[in-house]
Structure 1
Amino acid sequence: MDKTRQPAEYARFQDDLKRLAAVRAVEQVQSGMVLGLGTGSTAAFAVAEIGALLASGKLKKIVGIPTSKRTFKQAQLLGIPLSTLDDHPRIDLAIDGADEVDPNLNLVKGRGGALLREKMVEAASKKFIVVVDETKLVDGLGGSGLAMPVEVVQFCWKYNLLRLQELFKDEGVEAKLRLEGDKPYVTDNSNYIVDLYFKTPIKDVLAAGQEISALEGVVDHGLFLDMASSVIIAGTDGVSVKTK
């Protein structure tokens, strides 16, 4: 991707790519489906497209299961009928973005703070389509050097931050409490997020996920492993699809 563009122009260009990927994903939505509605900038384009198709009458009898309060508000404004996993525990299709995608279609998600609800909804889906622009592709998860989030209970959060950092000390991980202004960021589930910054890609993502989940007080983590059915990637050369 051409990063020589001016920042504002580059951001618009990235948004165009995200929109392309989202529209391609929504082509797989059919009337009567129960849909998992993802969170984040790319997923928002998919939700907007679903809303437009419903308004035009091209889609009918859709039920959306939002993965965050933010997505709930967007979908509600667009007139998308909404429900919950309690009433629809089997979802036909989920569409969401990702922060990183490795060659095996494993993901890092949750930099937008909705990782727990995203994982619950997408694990309940028969099919999970990931939509990204090409900047999200990595050789190994953690390879971007950006945050890999872990949702933790508020009680003794610092204790768990230190344990997470100790867990990956050989990989030089830095663990930081996510802030919103000068206060801890609070998730939709009233938890905190500890962001892990890896200097090199995670050596064994399956083992890492299991070790993180084993810590008392950890609610969930942003490693979405063996969950994606396909990944739609928008790049400067067009839109491509990767499947397992």
Structure 2
Amino acid sequence: MKTEGGSETAKRNAGERAAEEVTDGSVVGLGTGSTAAYAIEAIGQAVHDGLDVQGIPTSFQSRQLALEVGIPLTSLDAVDGVDLAIDGADQVRDDPSPNADADSNATTDADANATADTASALIKGGGGAHAREKLVAAAADRFVVVADPSKLVPELDRSVPVEILPAAHTTVAERVRELGGEPTLRDAEHKDGPVVTDNGNLILDVAFGPIDSPAELAPTLAAIPGVVEHGLFIGLADATYVGTADGVEKRTY
């Protein structure tokens, strides 16, 4: 269920711009996916040029790329905190308000009063790493999202990835059907059987159609026994860098 769409130029612009927020001596959460990969590569180049950082990867994929580009790695239990997390998204609920500016930090009173349900609501987990991604994002002082315009939507409607304990497959599927969702066990692409996450669990992709209130659905899913984590990220993002062919637009929340 990996996401498609968006030009490589737009992805690169978003990733490289977010990487500019990394400061010397910081601990950085390294997200997963094609747009986050550009941020990791840019951070690696900065390390090569003398920047002192430590990275916390959110998946095997991001760990391997970080090692390739020379970023020193650590873990959550080895540091006092995470200064910044950078990650992509499969969908970003777009709020075309005055805080959407061409690479600016402008905000208004209306922006400050925006609820978590209308600003900074995301769906993640197309790569199956959303449990670790959410853990790192929640631990970070700042969490910035990198995306191309194809990820922006007026209303979240993509299937929500739900990581589950293998033994809970049947019972969780029944519960999400009661909530109006249609679960599909995610199959592996190059092996028989289901996808197994880095945590040793399975993933249900649950189609709800347009999600009117992500902030209400998120805790309901989290409360189902057997659910490890779901892909609704509500109120976690501080900003989104939207890459375009010409530059970057920054949305602050």
TM class by shorter chain equals 0.7 to 0.9
Helix, strand or coil at the partner of 1:176: strand
Q: Report the equivalent of 2:141.
A: 126
TM alignment of 1:16-27, pairs within 5 A: 16-27=9-20
TM-score (norm 1): 0.88
Q: Report the equivalent of 2:243.
A: 234
C-alpha deviation, 1:236, in angstroms: 4.3
8 A contact 2:9–2:245 mirrored in 1? no
Q: Report the equivalent of 1:15.
A: 8
TM alignment of 1:145-184, pairs within 5 A: 146-168=158-180, 173-181=181-189, 182-184=192-194
C-alpha deviation, 1:56, in angstroms: 2.3
C-alpha deviation, 1:238, in angstroms: 3.3
Moved over 3 A (4+): none
Q: Report the equivalent of 1:71.
A: 62
The reply on whether 1:84 has 2:75 as its aligned counterpart is yes
Q: Report the equivalent of 2:106.
A: none
Deviation string 1:30-62 (CA, Å, 9 cap, x unpaired) is 1111000001111111001111111122x1x20
Query: Which blocks of at least 5 consecutive residues in structure 1 are unaligned?
Result: 1-9
Worse overlay, 125-134 or 176-185: 176-185
TM-score (norm 2): 0.85
C-alpha deviation, 1:196, in angstroms: 1.1
Q: Report the equivalent of 2:38.
A: 45
Helix, strand or coil at the partner of 1:183: coil
Structure 2 CA distance for aligned equivalents of residues 47 and 156 of structure 1: 35
Q: Report the equivalent of 1:198.
A: 208
Structure 2 CA distance for aligned equivalents of residues 89 and 197 of structure 1: 38
Structure 2 CA distance for aligned equivalents of residues 135 and 148 of structure 1: 17
Q: What is the identity percentage for the equivalent residue pairs of Structure 1 and Structure 2?
A: 44
Helix, strand or coil at the partner of 2:76: coil
Q: Report the equivalent of 1:6.
A: none
Given candidates 131, 134, 137, the residue that maps to 1:116 is: 131
Structure 1 pair 236/79, CA: closer, same or farther in 2 (3 Å)?
closer
